[in-house]
Structure 1
Amino acid sequence: MPDEGFGQSQFAWSIRGNPNVKKIFAQLWQTNELLVSFDAVGCFRDWHWNSAWKTISGWYHCDQNPIEKSHRCSIQGFVSLTDNNEFTGGLVVVPQSHKHFEQLQSITRIGKERANFCRVRRNHPLLKQFKPRLVKCKAGDLVVFDSRCIHCNTPALDIEEVTIFNEDKIPQLLRI
């Protein structure tokens, strides 16, 4: 939800300003003087309730320009509000792709619009060389990664089998 203003809401700022989140980023950058860029909030609804909610998988990209910022390391992160696994979907990263970031220069558009966004097609050699992996995490986990890492989101990869109908097992929509 990059354009709806949710990234600047009190809710988003309360997560961003959490002392534990700040502590981790201070350790990563080795300073308490932090400047935050918070461009969006990602929300995914359980598409089993409504198939129109299913996210499009495989829009691999990097959020750093390999031409203009080829050696600069930025760190992205999110605090997961729910468990993420093969039954829910979530963040997919391409391990080791940040070490081959310069290979994305030939596919990067130069210009002001989305200058820090580099779309990576599904047939790119780096996706074949390094197997994309779903990041499994628990509610409350902070997930951080190098912005040069190729990544995307995916819907659930597997369906959780429920053999007996039980009202206690009905998935609830997240209320914030």
Structure 2
Amino acid sequence: MAVPVITRRGPEPVFPPFEYSDLLNEASFGDWRDALVKDGYTVIKGAVSRERALAAREEAFQWLEDFPLGFKRDDPSTFKNEHLPNHMKGGMIHGYGIAHEQWLWNLRTEPGVIDAFAKVWGTRDLVVSFDSAAVMLPNRTDVVDKGRWEHIDQSPSRRGLYCVQGILNLNDCGPEDGGLMILKGSAPIIEEFFNTIGREETRTWGPVDFYSFTDDQHQWFHDHGCEWVKVCCEPGDLILWDSRAMHYNVRPTGQRDRTCAYICMAPAKLLSNEDRQKRKVAFDQYLGTTHVPFASLHLRAHTPGIRADTGLPDPLDTGIPRYPRVATDTVLKLSGIAAY
């Protein structure tokens, strides 16, 4: 029996029409984009070679070991907050200027990654989010699991497609290895959902392109045939998903770490002059951005994160990458600083 959701009528959408809003309306491509339309996500096998992905995983672990906190990848007794840089959700890292570490930029400029986003948008003239990475270690005993945190990274006041997010997987990722949870089939019916309950603003923090769901709302999607899928993949596989798809992540329950990079690209022509100016500030000051590579750039000066083990600002979090990216022509174009 269907469970009714609480109707909350809010204001009608105020955002202007988006140029690409109808891009994923029909599954008529004859390739992996059809799964992106129907299911809300897809896995592109071998976007990066297995060897290159595993090498990047080694770089991520070396980055962790370079902190003078005593972390050792082969010593599970160091898999604790006191031996690790600040992180959230068991391993998502946002401080320390990590968005502009060379090893992360190397992954953003991989031809297979650029090719995938170019196929989605129909152009190779792309800009990339200054996003982060995650290293979720197994057998953590000092992380409190707060349960599901289902959300979409798109305002309910937007209509149609707005953003396609990505995760480049850097380790084998099976059912017990942590990773992305997607509510399969939720993206195509998200507007029907908001047409039913209304578009009242519920955010208490964060950028405008975010919406979290209550239990009764969650049930509405199950009543309409949606089901949760744990996305399993191999090193070098690229997961793409429509930001309208409900999703969250889970930590490893087995013996393997979950290591990945968050990468999102969109057409460079979507950048306004203000966007370009803000992205240059972010680039020069090693700041991160939201998943959306254009617009909604909520920049703020770097402040050291508060450590979970001491409750004090982390003196190691200077906001400056340990190995800052080299500003190549490709990097400058993907940053929105240089023109195509």
TM-score (norm 1): 0.77
Structure with max Cα Rg: 2
- Does 1:21 find its partner at 2:85? no
Check the 8 A contact 1:63/1:147 in 2, yes or no.
Answer: yes
Equivalent AA in structure 1 for residue 233 of structure 2: C
Q: 1:28–1:55: structure 2 CA closer, same or farther, 3 Å change rule?
A: farther
Q: What's the RMSD between the two structures over aligned residues?
A: 2.7
- Does 1:128 find its partner at 2:217? no
CA distance in 1, matches of 2:232, 2:200: 29
Check the 8 A contact 1:57/1:153 in 2, yes or no.
Answer: no
Match in the other structure for 1:109: 202
Q: 1:108–1:85: structure 2 CA closer, same or farther, 3 Å change rule?
A: farther
What percentage of aligned pairs have identical amino acids? 25
Match in the other structure for 2:152: 62
Q: 1:146 aligns with which of 233, 242, 245?
A: 242
3-state SS in 2 of match to 1:23 = helix
Q: 1:31 aligns with which of 99, 111, 123?
A: 123
Match in the other structure for 1:82: 171
- Does 1:45 find its partner at 2:137? yes
Gaps of 5+ in 1: 161-170
Give the Å deviation of 1:106: 3.5
Check the 8 A contact 2:171/2:258 in 1, yes or no.
Answer: no
Give the Å deviation of 1:149: 0.4
Q: 1:126–1:3: structure 2 CA closer, same or farther, 3 Å change rule?
A: farther
Give the Å deviation of 1:147: 0.8
Give the Å deviation of 1:57: 3.6
Check the 8 A contact 2:162/2:243 in 1, yes or no.
Answer: yes
**Per-residue CA shift, 1:88-107, capped at 9, x if unaligned?**
12100001111122224546
Q: 1:173–1:89: structure 2 CA closer, same or farther, 3 Å change rule?
A: closer
Check the 8 A contact 1:60/1:122 in 2, yes or no.
Answer: no
Q: 1:82–1:119: structure 2 CA closer, same or farther, 3 Å change rule?
A: same
CA distance in 2, matches of 1:86, 1:56: 20
Gaps of 5+ in 2: 1-92, 260-340
3-state SS in 2 of match to 1:35 = strand
**Per-residue CA shift, 1:74-114, capped at 9, x if unaligned?**
11011111111221121000011111222245464368842
Equivalent AA in structure 2 for residue 18 of structure 1: E
CA distance in 2, matches of 1:18, 1:36: 12
Equivalent AA in structure 2 for residue 81 of structure 1: L
Q: 1:113–1:84: structure 2 CA closer, same or farther, 3 Å change rule?
A: same
Q: What number of residue pairs does the alignment pair up?
A: 160
CA distance in 2, matches of 1:37, 1:14: 14
Q: 1:100 aligns with which of 189, 199, 203?
A: 189
Check the 8 A contact 1:58/1:122 in 2, yes or no.
Answer: no
Range with greater deviation from structure 2 (112-121 or 133-142): 112-121
Match in the other structure for 2:251: 155
Give the Å deviation of 1:35: 1.5
TM-score (norm 2): 0.42
Check the 8 A contact 2:251/2:258 in 1, yes or no.
Answer: no
Give the Å deviation of 1:12: 1.4
Give the Å deviation of 1:44: 1.2
Give the Å deviation of 1:55: 5.2
